[in-house]
Chains A and B, each alone.
Chain A
Amino acid sequence: MNKAVALLQEKFPEEVVEVVEFRGDTAIEVKPDRLVSICAALKDGHDTGFKYLSMIAGMDYSPASPRFGVVYNLYSHKHHDRITLKTRLADDLAPVIDSVAKVWSTANWHEREIYDMMGIRFNGHPDLRRILMPADWAGYPQRKDYPLRGQ
């Protein structure tokens, strides 16, 4: 079994929702509440060592509910291993999740982009403002209900 899965099932058995293996990729879905502790454990764990956050993607699964999700891709240079960590956010109208910018500095810009594009807020983010769109832009362009050619 994947070391990251083993670590999470040992330390956070209540949090793991689902583990999916597809085409050699391991995707672990966890509950959002203790995400920062989970990420810190994966980063510092001896057998995992995911020191590198590859990317964070905001997801709009509309019309499904819970509608929004956040996906983290982590890489371990120690084992040359990669996992996808997924969460679904409970609130469809005002999606919010804790920021992992304290765990990996690179998360700062990824989270700003998701806030800008999807309107997902990150608690504890040091500087949560729009990044690609102008500061006074209304709406979140990458949501599924946002028309392709703008409003």
Chain B
Amino acid sequence: MNQAGTMQRTETMLLNVGPSHPSTHGVLRVLVELDGELILSADPDIGYLHRGIEKMCEYRTYHKCLPLMNRVDYLAGEVNNFGFCLAVEKLLGVEVPKRAQYIRVLIVELTRIASHLFWLGTHGHDLGAMTPLFYAFRERETIMDLCEMASGARMFPLYFRIGGLAADLPEGFIPAAWQFAKSFDKNWKDYDTLLTQNIIWKGRTMGVGALSAADALDWGWSGPMARGSGVDWDLRRDNPYSSYEEFEFEVPLGNSQGDTYSRYLVRMAEMLQSNRIIKQALEKIAKTEPGDIKCADPRVSLPPKEMVYSDIASLINHFKLIQEGITPPAGEVYQAIEAPKGEMGFYIVSDGGPQPLRVKVRTPSFVVLGSLDKLCRGRLLSDMIAMIGTMDIVLADVDR
């Protein structure tokens, strides 16, 4: 009843956010039911970037799946290939040489920094901090250049192969990578000074989107999202792959409050840890034999060219691998890796043929976006922008 004593009609408002809006990090549409500025429910409408990557894999040889995988999480292209290659190698039961393992770790950790830098820039930008973007993209650009040096491409390097790498690192790469690693800790301080003690930043992020450790696991959170809630879990440390057990690094947990600020602290600290791993990888690569980048298993790797010209078995092997492709034995594997955004898993089922029977890509972005409604209820609309940012989602990673 209003002052005049008449019944006033009240109703909630349905607001359509997206699908094309700078703060939605791709093409995400969210249907928000509002009571004033308070969110009653938020229903993400996804699928705008659905390309059917899982379906397409069923019609291709294993190697032809790799360009598709690059495009799952396009901000960390090579990480997806890393997981897929590891899964197929597990299916085949082969292991790649140490040099290839270290180079993979090096590239993947560089990509992790690039992905976190993109998150930092855009997340800050969403919440009104324009400057971090320019600093973050400065270092991201250097990483893109390194990727281009190694493979010829910036966003989608397509540098890893099943059984190893496409080629060894080019001349000049190692010094350039060292230069990046040595200057990164200092450059990192530039972002840290801009945001970590910034009162506006703290006001926008502290207490926003908080979730307990138990709820985080219930909602399938992994990676930095779970660690921000105090879940002490990192697949690189707890289920090591590709020689991660030989590297020394810490698993940062933020302030364990489970809020947006805690996740900010986690990702910031992770960049420094990645840089530690990069330095160790560079040292380890220097101790290995140049050119030793492919496993010798004839089911996976092409024989040396001179053998193809001189030996009939090698010629047949070469012909079969090119014409037919890799044929893993019938069976199924699940391989999970610690991608920049959380657990990225590949469930591959083989019937023994040259094409996979089923490839299921478990992406971290799809899973965390599923909890948007849970986080947003009862919060302000402006907090939703902070939550989409802190989730570090990429819609290509959500939709596949």
Given contacts A23-B93, A59-B358, contact A52 B220 (CB under 8 A): yes
Does any Cβ of B come within 8 Å of A128's Cβ?
no
Given contacts A104-B220, A105-B218, A148-B59, contact A84 B332 (CB under 8 A): yes
Interface string of A111-141 (1 = CB under 8 A from B): 0010001000000000000011110000001
- Complex CA–CA separation, A108 to B56 (angstroms): 25
What is the number of residues of chain B that contact chain A, defined by CB distance less than 8 Å? 42
Majority secondary structure, B binding face: mixed
- Complex CA–CA separation, A142 to B47 (angstroms): 14
B47-97 at interface with A (beta carbon < 8 Å): 47, 50, 52, 54-56, 58-59, 90-91, 93
Q: Are A141's CB and B52's CB within 8 A?
A: yes
Does any Cβ of B come within 8 Å of A25's Cβ?
yes
Measured between C-beta atoms, what is the minimum distance from A136 to chain B in Å? 13
Q: Are A51's CB and B59's CB within 8 A?
A: no
- Complex CA–CA separation, A22 to B331 (angstroms): 7
Does any Cβ of A come within 8 Å of B249's Cβ?
no
Measured between C-beta atoms, what is the minimum distance from A74 to chain B in Å? 10
Q: Are B46's CB and A23's CB within 8 A?
A: no
- Complex CA–CA separation, A113 to B349 (angstroms): 19
Measured between C-beta atoms, what is the minimum distance from B334 to chain A in Å? 5
B169-227 at interface with A (beta carbon < 8 Å): 214-215, 217-220, 222
Does any Cβ of A come within 8 Å of B360's Cβ?
yes
- Complex CA–CA separation, A77 to B214 (angstroms): 11
Contacts of A148 in B (CB 8 A): 55-56, 59
Q: Are A23's CB and B90's CB within 8 A?
A: yes
- Complex CA–CA separation, A52 to B334 (angstroms): 15
Chain A residue at smallest Cβ distance from B359 = A57
Contacts of B55 in A (CB 8 A): 141-142, 148
Contacts of A117 in B (CB 8 A): 54
Contacts of A108 in B (CB 8 A): 370
Given contacts A73-B362, A80-B238, A131-B47, contact A51 B218 (CB under 8 A): yes
Does any Cβ of A come within 8 Å of B233's Cβ?
yes
A3-52 at interface with B (beta carbon < 8 Å): 22-25, 27, 51-52
Contacts of A52 in B (CB 8 A): 217, 220, 222
Q: Which of A24, A73, A109 is the one whose CB lies under 8 Å from B370?
A: A109
- Complex CA–CA separation, A82 to B58 (angstroms): 25
- Complex CA–CA separation, A104 to B59 (angstroms): 33
Does any Cβ of A come within 8 Å of B387's Cβ?
no
Q: Which of B91, B349, B369 is the one whose CB lies under 8 Å from A23?
A: B91
**9 residue pairs A–B, Cβ–Cβ below 8 Å:** A54-B336, A55-B367, A57-B347, A84-B347, A105-B215, A105-B218, A105-B220, A106-B370, A148-B55
